[in-house]
Amino acid sequence: MTPGVRPLVAGNWKMNGMRGSLHEASAIAGQYDWSLRRAIDLLICPPATLIAPISRQSIGSGLLTGGQDCHAAASGAHTGDLSAEMIADAGGSFVIVGHSERRADHKETDAMVRAKAEAARRARLVAIVCVGETQAEREAGKTLAVVRKQLKGSIPEGMNAATLVVAYEPVWAIGSGLTPTAADVAEVHAAIRADLKKLVGKEEGAKVRILYGGSVKPSNAAELMAVENVDGALVGGASLKAADFMGIVAVYRK
């Protein structure tokens, strides 16, 4: 946690979810009660096909929606792609950029991620910029160097706490059931915080939310969310079921 910073818990549904998942989304919205709404922002990033219906059915609940990726351009001849403006048009207010699965499967570079984060700001979406080391990089002692390089390369100039969220997601922790120790998370988040103050300015950098992601579940959420500079979670597998996701969110119930 960072004093004075409102946490964000975000669900990344990845390529999971059909129309039937609207039930899970409405169960999540239904459990996002006033005490939680006072405490945190709650977000689901479903597949693009579900952004509009979930946004529509969540009106009045406070539950936010977002995309999992966007193209850097606003429109044009880019078959199969989706612009940040389209996500906003569908009711989204956030977009994840630079997730390690995009970086690996679609060969996205830091420069491409930065252009997508720019696009998010242009469309008035909050960009959730993901960074994180692979297992080999961790074993080689390169974690901080890798994360800091990704951060520097992926964040556009002129971002602030209202336009940017950073998610630290060790690649080896995603979907594996493995997590770094609280001390390891603290070390990386402290480095990200220090760099953010240089990249976006001292005042804004102190307020940018830094999420932890990678095998967050109800049983480990309390420990991970209590770490200094951890301002919420980016949750994959455990965000697909309302019971699991809200079990994580419950950490923020006072």
What is the contact surface with ligand PGA in residues (CB under 6 A)? 12, 169, 174-175, 213-216, 234-238
CB of 12 or CB of 163, closer to ligand PGA = 12
CB of 74 or CB of 104, closer to ligand PGA = 104
- Residues whose CB falls within 8 Å of the CB of residue 59, separated by 6 or more in sequence, listed in order: none
CA–CA distances in Å: residue 91 to residues 74, 95, 149, 182, 252:
16, 11, 33, 35, 26
State both tokens at 63. 């539950």
* Nearest distance in Å: CB 74, ligand PGA: 26
* Nearest distance in Å: CB 234, ligand PGA: 5
CB of 85 or CB of 154, closer to ligand PGA = 154
Amino acid at 37: R
**Any idea what DSSP says for residue 71?**
B
The count of other CB atoms within 10 Å of the CB of residue 68 is 23
* Nearest distance in Å: CB 190, ligand PGA: 21
What is the distance between the alpha carbons of residues 203 and 62, in angstroms, rounded to a whole number?
Answer: 27
What is the distance between the alpha carbons of residues 17 and 137, in angstroms, rounded to a whole number?
Answer: 32
Task: Compute the C-alpha angle 115/67/127, nearest 5°.
Answer: 45
Q: What is the dihedral of CA 166, 167, 171, 172, to 10 degrees?
A: 140
* Nearest distance in Å: CB 247, ligand PGA: 13
Catalytic positions, written as ranges: 99, 169
Task: Compute the C-alpha angle 199/201/207, nearest 5°.
Answer: 100
Please give the distance of CA 105 from its chain centroid, rounded to a whole number: 18
Closest residue to ligand PGA using C-beta atoms = 236
CB of 75 or CB of 176, closer to ligand PGA = 176
CB of 64 or CB of 238, closer to ligand PGA = 238
* Nearest distance in Å: CB 59, ligand PGA: 26
State both tokens at 78. 């880019």
